[in-house]
Amino acid sequence: GESVGLHLPTLSVQEGDNSIINCAYSNSASDYFIWYKQESGKGPQFIIDIRSNMDKRQGQRVTVLLNKTVKHLSLQIAATQPGDSAVYFCAERGKGYNKLIFGAGTRLAVHP
């Protein structure tokens, strides 16, 4: 399939380690944030979301942290597995807007 994110920053981790992927967003008025995972040849897959009135949300093996003071979002993946290898995008939605603005993406490479 097509390769997504040929020249993206890459985070390399060992299988079983925890991964942290960071994202800086642009609009202090954004009220909703989403993390997506994109594998080669596929569309972005929803992982987890968080509203601006929260600073932490947990899912299965994933946690999203939101720091509105410095406009920073992070995705933590526990016990990273080879199947987690993909490009990860954060996306923000400005208040009153219907569009998502995507970050540049980070490639996660998981090594056995």
Residue with tokens 């987890």: 48
Q: Is 44 in the site for other proteins (CB under 8 A)?
A: yes
Contact 83, 108 (CB under 8 A): no
Beta strands in the chain (DSSP E): 10-14, 19-24, 30-38, 45-51, 56-58, 62-67, 72-77, 86-94, 100-102, 106-111
Among 11, 22, 49, 78, binds other proteins (CB under 8 A): 49
| DSSP for residue 6 | T
Contact 21, 85 (CB under 8 A): no
Residues 75-94 that bind other proteins (CB under 8 A): 89, 91, 93
Min. distance of Cβ 110 from other proteins in angstroms?
21
Min. distance of Cβ 75 from other proteins in angstroms?
14
Among 10, 18, 27, 42, binds other proteins (CB under 8 A): 42
Min. distance of Cβ 17 from other proteins in angstroms?
25
Residues at the contact surface with other proteins, assessed by CB under 8 A: 2-8, 31-32, 34, 36, 41-46, 49, 51, 89, 91, 93, 96-105
